[in-house]
A and B are shown apart, each in its own frame.
Chain A
Amino acid sequence: MAKYVMEIGEVSKVKLHGHIDASIAPELMNELKTLIARKSEIKKLVFFAEELEYIASAGIRSVVFAKQKLGANVQVYLIGASDTVLDVFKMTGIDKFLTVQNSFEG
């Protein structure tokens, strides 16, 4: 059973949770590769981050990787990220390529 990817489809859902440091991030990346393999089905990719306590560059790279592989026609969301988590996304400038919302509005 996947640890992060909850659903693959037109609206694909990924639940980011806990601490995603460099020792954990490869698991996220592997799951995202499985998701990306079905990219023709995907119109939106939603990262739910309400339970994400910590992320560093290794985890953010996974999000960038997904965004790049899915292409411009797939909208990528970041939902419910805490201020501290969002702060790291903002420092990298990656937040500009994501639709950042408190709760998923579609």
Chain B
Amino acid sequence: MLKNVAFPAKRELLPEMLKKITDEIDKYVKDSKWLNRLKVCSEEILINIIDYSGSDKVYITCEFLDAEKTLRFEFADEGTPYNPLEEKSEVDIDADIDERSIGGLGIFLYTTMMDKMEYRYANGKNHLIAIKKFSGKEAMAVAE
């Protein structure tokens, strides 16, 4: 479990943050497609915080709720209050290539892949919570 692990909000530390997260989720998720998807989602959220929040630090929580076979991520920062979930994603995956916006892909990916996203601002921090519930053979959770 990662509990509120702090990193300086710097682009060059993104690989280190992602390694910390993937080392953690690797304990629970055995499906390579979902391991990769969760890493992608984490990156998209982290890079938005790093690039746009103005926060010096980013705080990462990742926990597996065994009874619910659920992975819960929480990304917090001390930047400008901002709810990314209010951003209307302009990604139209059926649009022609020349009409495809090259922005908005990140939020599109994590809101599509995750089962549930929540935002709240509390105690001077933005908190973005991402929930992925595993069922059946979609991914094999192992928290013996």
Contacts and interface: CB of A to CB of B under 8 A. Distances in A.
B33 A84 contact: yes
A19 B15 contact: yes
A68 B100 contact: yes
Which of B12, B43, B91, B113 neighbours the largest number of chain A CB atoms within 10 Å of its CB?
Answer: B43
A23 B11 contact: yes
A22 interface: yes
A88 B93 contact: no
B135 interface: no
A92 B100 CA distance: 10
A61 B32 contact: no
Contacts of B44: 56-57
A65 interface: yes
B85 to A, nearest CB: 17
Interface size class of A (residues with CB under 8 A): 20 to 34
Contacts of A10: none
Contacts of A8: none
A104 interface: no
Contacts of A91: 93, 109, 112-113
B42 to A, nearest CB: 9
B94 A88 contact: no
Contacts of B15: 19, 21, 23
Contacts of A56: 39-40, 43-44, 106, 109
Given A64-B97, A68-B98, A92-B108, A84 B36 contact: yes
A63 to B, nearest CB: 10
B32 A84 contact: yes
B105 A92 contact: yes
A32 interface: no
Given A22-B47, A56-B106, A97-B97, 17 more contacts: A22-B11, A54-B36, A54-B39, A57-B43, A57-B44, A58-B106, A60-B105, A61-B105, A64-B100, A72-B98, A83-B32, A87-B37, A88-B40, A92-B105, A92-B109, A93-B94, A93-B100
**Across the A-B interface, the 8 shortest Cβ-Cβ residue pairs:** A93-B93, A57-B105, A84-B36, A22-B47, A97-B97, A23-B14, A57-B106, A61-B102
Interface of A: 19, 21-23, 54, 56-58, 60-61, 64-65, 67-68, 72, 83-85, 87-88, 91-94, 97
